[in-house]
Structure 1
Amino acid sequence: MSQHRPTGPNGRSGGVPALPDLPEATVARLPEYLRALHHIAETGNDTISSEGLAAAAGVNSAKLRKDLSHLGSYGTRGVGYDVALLIDQIEFTLGLTQRRAVALVGVGNLGHALAGYAGFASRGFRIAALFDADQARVGEPINGLDVRHISELATVAAAESIAIGVIATPAAAAQDVADALVAAGVTSILNFAPCVLSVPEGVDVRKVDLAIELQILSFHEHRKSALTSLPGGLAEEAVGT
């Protein structure tokens, strides 16, 4: 599906371009393509083949071509994709043409590290406010911002046009923080707390649980150990299949 600007009654294009209706799996891969494209651009390459971009993003080329076709980008046979144009298309689709303001709630060890992460700015985001419920942390300067008390969330969210809330609190406090973010008009939440949040329809939540990721890796390590402990190890198993 190609992007286009909707036309008004006079036939002229206007407003913002229509967004393609993308599969969730495609949306999840677009940031990987964007990261790879920025690296390719930094090396001075103006074009990239689908095979080259797929390898840089860690996917197969057929999947990449299908994903990018949703954006109306098909590349040029024998030439590949225009790197700058594809960056523009993906950034528009991901809504990165404006720097989105982010509120971070919880400035413990993880929150403190997130607040100081320089990569957010280069990816289209601005940490606009830091919050904590601990009065002892209120006023603490972190990366150019003073920590505010959570009671100020609604006022600051409106003043800073907060688009996304990041929760880095203990699990016991996360639901109350999510409720406060929703009440303040925030409809996108990134949750680092190890719990499931209950939010109203229309509020999007992404969960990052580092312990779960480690547990999944532990499964793979356990499986590899089990396979290599069999008589003949992996080699014998492969012969028997």
Structure 2
Amino acid sequence: MAIGRSPQSSSQTPDQGAARRPSRARGIPEATVARLPLYLRALTALSERSVPTVSSEELAAAAGVNSAKLRKDFSYLGSYGTRGVGYDVEYLVYQISRELGLTQDWPVVIVGIGNLGHALANYGGFASRGFRVAALLDADPSVVGTSAAGLPVRHMDELESIVESQHVSIGVITTPPGAAQQVCDRLVEAGVTSILNFAPTVLTVPDGVDVRKVDLSIELQILAFHEQRKAGDEPDRTESVLDRAPGPVRAAAAKLRRAAGGGNGKARAAEPAAKDGEAGTTKPGKGGEGELSAVMPA
């Protein structure tokens, strides 16, 4: 089903669903807005399998949230479900797409055509959601003139004219961190009001400009933290089990630990976790930017 077209069975029309910023114009919480793409992804998968209706419990499970939260989220959008029947999948896909502004074309410029820029340019998920890559830009003379995803890489000197002629309001930054703020400033001055930042740095923007940040290294650091905690908890869990074991088992375990260099037979304590301010920080600074899941949507 093509997003951007109202299902034939619906009395709603695209004209009635004019694009708007739901989180501001209608008072929808940002946390709810962040979950709408999850619902849309789950609903799109159901639509592709020709599933006509879905219950709140089924949809919540597919989206990875609880059903009470889903119903609360949908209460901000209107009443789309029918008691005892559930939600019409096709109609709900259209309604959420409309709320997210996906029923219109969104031209996007990508600045910084290295490996990540190339990958994003070739990512098919953008077009299926209404995001059209209008231009690829770079300042490196060795990159300008090459192509990615069938588009030529153009020089940054053309940024302003491209933004104006293509009516671009969304920019994607995939430059090294040292160049990101300068690129951000150029985008804002050209008229771009929404920026997706992949550079590992905090951007400063004026009021009226939205920035969302994706930092893959931070996501990996968070996973490393949890893996470290799992490893650190292992000796405690093992000793707890041994404490409840029969005497002969405890004696045999103590003998094995002594043979392995454990000294008095007690398990060695795990290294303490890093304190705040030490290496391995797990909470990225907000910096006025929104945080995004590092995993690209399906």
Query: Is the structural similarity TM-score above 0.5?
Result: yes
For 2:179, what is the secondary structure of its paired residue? helix
In the other structure, the counterpart of 2:174 is 168
Q: Does 1:229 align with 2:235?
A: yes
In the other structure, the counterpart of 1:214 is 220
In the other structure, the counterpart of 2:199 is 193
How big is the shift at 1:73? 2.7
- 2-structure distance, mates of 1:17, 1:99: 10
For 1:162, what is the secondary structure of its paired residue? coil
Q: Does 1:70 align with 2:76?
A: yes
Does structure 1 retain, via aligned residues, the 8 Å contact 2:159–2:190?
yes
Does structure 2 retain, via aligned residues, the 8 Å contact 1:73–1:86?
no
Does structure 2 retain, via aligned residues, the 8 Å contact 1:228–1:234?
no
- 1-structure distance, mates of 2:94, 2:35: 16
In the other structure, the counterpart of 1:112 is 118
How big is the shift at 1:90? 0.7
Q: Larger relative CO (CA 8 A, sep 6+): 1 or 2?
A: 2
Q: 1:195 to 1:17 in 2, by over 3 A?
A: closer
Does structure 2 retain, via aligned residues, the 8 Å contact 1:227–1:234?
no
How big is the shift at 1:15? 9.2
Q: Does 1:182 align with 2:217?
A: no
| Aligned-partner residue type, residue 64 of structure 1 | L
- 2-structure distance, mates of 1:58, 1:234: 33
Q: Write the mapping of 1:67-106 to structure 2, written as runs, cut at 5 A.
A: 67-106=73-112
Any gaps of 5 or more consecutive residues in structure 2? Answer: 1-14, 243-298
1:42 to 30, 41, 48: 48
Q: 1:14 to 1:90 in 2, by over 3 A?
A: closer
Query: Where do 4+ consecutive residues of structure 1 move more than 3 Å?
Result: 13-19, 233-236
- 2-structure distance, mates of 1:171, 1:78: 53
| Aligned-partner residue type, residue 166 of structure 1 | V
Q: Does 1:152 align with 2:152?
A: no
How big is the shift at 1:38? 0.3
For 1:173, what is the secondary structure of its paired residue? helix
How big is the shift at 1:107? 0.4
Q: 1:156 to 1:82 in 2, by over 3 A?
A: same
Does structure 2 retain, via aligned residues, the 8 Å contact 1:171–1:193?
yes
How big is the shift at 1:175? 0.3
Does structure 1 retain, via aligned residues, the 8 Å contact 2:19–2:103?
no
Any gaps of 5 or more consecutive residues in structure 1? Answer: 1-12, 237-241
Q: 1:52 to 1:185 in 2, by over 3 A?
A: same
TM-score norm. by structure 1 comes to 0.88
- 1-structure distance, mates of 2:240, 2:96: 41
For 1:152, what is the secondary structure of its paired residue? helix
- 2-structure distance, mates of 1:203, 1:167: 14
- 1-structure distance, mates of 2:233, 2:137: 48
Superposed CA RMSD = 1.9
Q: Does 1:203 align with 2:209?
A: yes
- 2-structure distance, mates of 1:214, 1:81: 37
- 1-structure distance, mates of 2:31, 2:210: 16
